[in-house]
Amino acid sequence: MKEYNLIQEGDVNFSETRKNWYRTMDSVAISEWLERDASSFIHQSLSTPCLDVLESCEGIYITDVSGKKYMDFHGNNLHQVGHRNPFVIEKVKQQLDILPFSPRRYTNKPAIELAEKLSSLLPAGLNRVLFAPGGTSAIGMALKLARIVTGKYKVVSLWDSFHGASMDAISVGGEQQFKQGLGPLMPGVEHINQSESYRNPFSEDSNDLHYVEQLENIIEENADIGAFIIETIRNTDVQIPSKAYWKSVREICCKHNVLLILDEIPIAFGRTGKMFAFEHFDIEPDIICLGKGLGAGIIPIAAIVARDSYNVAGDISLGHYTHEKNPLGSVAALAMLEFIESNHLLEKVKKDELFVKEKLTALQEKYSLIGDVRGIGLLWGIELVKDRDTKERAVSEAEQVMYECLKNGLSFKVSQGNVIQLCPPLIIEREQLENAFNILEIAIHSIGYPLLS
Ligand SMILES: Cc1ncc(COP(=O)(O)O)c(C=O)c1O
């Protein structure tokens, strides 16, 4: 297989290394279940054929049908309060006995309370909420609302972005893997080109203001642009823009009456050490998209929260989802937020950030394979390179590190072919973090690249 094919949003599920991984599993039960999965589901990248078959989960762990436990440093970014959080489970169980479903033309107490709670956590004026069953649907609602509010139908996004897998979301998203072979997409999308050669275009020292210039040029050349949609911090390969970048973006959007839609679906609720990532940059969105951890990893629920003045679509259906004001999801979300607040998780994550930074910096000083380490809160990216000067991606090495870690009970995702993304539950204990870094170091060491110290 060409190495090019290994460069994609996540690890590939048809590589030689994946085949070798299956050979290391000596459980008949796992093989049988994997075969049944492969014969029943439509195969697609990043899913079937699958890595392993899960039986249970708890806290930071997922456990397979043979009893093998993995520390889950991926968790699809929805496990902020840990898997099967007992506080949340209890609240959901209680709600199951009262009102598990609410038909769309009715409302219910948990949904109203959740809408009020989200508004209370966001800056004043961001207080109009819509719920949806998943993040992609929230993105769709945000795009529709922006068209209605501004009367302009075009949108700008980043070339390499991901905002979900539906037709409208892949139209604003840039990743080829999600759109190849699918024919015409939604018109009216302009993309900001990010440098292909440099994987982390956003950072204090990489002059990310260059991308602000591109944004303004695009807006000035296209009179119909009504929105700029972007992740506040790119989750998959962890790209953290500078404060100056965000300040300029905000100013440009205000100047041109372009709504700033922040996609915080994978990174809100404490992941970065703040309830919402935009709080790091002293800016406010016009619409924020939330999801994943909103349902505490138990019930699928997503949301948009928009400015009060955008409540202008009373005669149009923006969402119309069957599970719109989902009482179970609302209860899970309220419990998740209560858990974060009463356990002071934001403060904990800030302390963990310092610890992780120290650990990863030490690894970078030791192993030439590590070209860059970047992160915030409990969201970290480790970029593996064949050569620090050329920054050539160490793609097959990243795959090998991942499978070595999986063998030793640490699960994470590789993004863009060479970026190891670490995203543990926020409840993780210090000793568990230490264990994870030991497993990671053993795996990096096993690749055999020159040691620096
Ligand atoms: C940045 C971002 N936006 C949107 C989505 C779509 O969310 P969902 O999978 O819940 O539809 C994702 C999912 O991975 C995401 O990472």
pLDDT class of 204 with cuts at 50, 70, 90: low
Residues 406 and 257 in one domain: no
The answer to whether residue 368 is domain-embedded is: yes
Both 253 and 381 in a single domain? no
Please say which residue of 286, 310, 342 terminates a domain: 342
Where among 342, 374, 401 does a domain terminate?
342
- Asked if residue 135 has its Cβ within 6 Å of ligand 1, the reply is yes
- pLDDT for residue 453 is more than 80: no
The answer to the question of residue 122 being in a domain is yes
Q: Is there a single domain that holds both residue 392 and residue 254?
A: no
Please tell me the residue having the least CA distance from ligand 1 atom 8. 135
Q: Among 239-243, 299-303, 378-382, whose mean pLDDT is lowest?
A: 239-243
Q: Is the pLDDT of residue 141 over 80?
A: yes
372 with 252, same domain: the answer is no
Same domain, 288 and 148: yes
- 321 & 360 share domain: no
CB-ligand 1 contact for 383 (6 Å cutoff): no
Answer whether 134 contacts ligand 1 (Cβ < 6 A). yes
Q: Which of 78-92, 253-267, 339-353, 383-397 has the lowest mean pLDDT?
A: 383-397
Residue 146 Cα to ligand 1 midpoint, Å, equals: 19
> Quick one: average pLDDT of 333-349?
98
| C-beta of 284 in contact with ligand 1 (< 6 A) | no
Decide whether any atom of ligand 1 lies within 6 Å of the 162 Cβ: yes
- Closest residue CA from atom 2 of ligand 1: 163
**pLDDT score for 200:** 61
Residue 232 near ligand 1, beta carbon < 6 Å: no
Instruction: Evaluate whether residue 386 is within a structural domain.
Output: yes
Q: Is residue 453 part of a domain?
A: no
Check whether residue 166 and residue 312 sit in a common domain: yes
pLDDT score, position 1: 38
Give domain status of residue 452, yes or no.
Answer: no
Name which residue leads in pLDDT, 204 or 174: 174
Angle in degrees, CA 389, 392, 395, rounded to 5? 145
pLDDT for 164: 96
- 232 and 379 belong to one structural domain: no
The pTM of this model reads 0.96
**163, 136 contact by CB (below 8 A):** yes
Same domain for 129 and 173? Answer: yes
CATH number, domain with residue 361: 3.90.1150.10
- Give the confidence band of 8 by pLDDT, cuts at 50, 70, 90: low
Residues paired with residue 231 on neighbouring β-strands, in sequence order = 263
Q: Is the pLDDT of residue 176 over 80?
A: no
Q: Are residues 173 and 283 in the same domain?
A: yes
Torsion sign, CA atoms 376, 379, 385, 391: negative
Question: Across-strand partners of 158?
Answer: 192
Task: Give the CATH number for residue 150.
Answer: 3.40.640.10
- pLDDT at position 205: 60
Asked if residue 265 has its Cβ within 6 Å of ligand 1, the reply is yes
Q: Does position 222 have pLDDT exceeding 90, yes or no? A: yes
Check residue 178 and give its pLDDT.
Answer: 85
Verify that 212 and 324 share a domain, yes or no. yes
Asked if omega into 49 is within 30° of 0 (cis), the reply is yes
Q: What is the pLDDT of residue 14?
A: 80
Q: What is the pLDDT of residue 201?
A: 64
* Nearest-CA residue for atom 16 of ligand 1: 266
Q: What does the mean pLDDT of the chain come to?
A: 93
374/203 Cα distance (integer angstroms):
9
3-class SS at 361?
A: helix
Whether 196 has a pLDDT exceeding 90, the answer reads no
Full strand arrangement of the beta sheet holding 302-307: 126-132, 302-307, 287-290, 259-263, 225-231, 154-158, 189-192
pLDDT at 3 over 60: no
Please report how the helices 430-446 and 345-366 are oriented relative to each other, as an axis angle in degrees rounded to 10. Answer: 20
Which residue has the least CA distance to atom 7 on ligand 1? 135
* 13 inside domain: yes
Q: Domain residues for 52?
A: 3-83+345-446
175-189, 341-355, 367-381, 397-411: the lowest-pLDDT one = 175-189
pLDDT at 198: 46
Return the ligand 1 atom nearest residue 166 CA: 11
The domain boundary residue, chosen from 298, 327, 342: 342
Residues 90 and 184 in one domain: yes
pLDDT in tens, 39-62: 999 998 888 899 999 999 999 999
405 touches 439 (CB < 8 A): yes
Asked if residue 57 is part of any domain, the answer here is yes
In the chain, the number of structural domains is 2
pLDDT at position 45 is 83
Domain assignment present for residue 391? The answer is yes
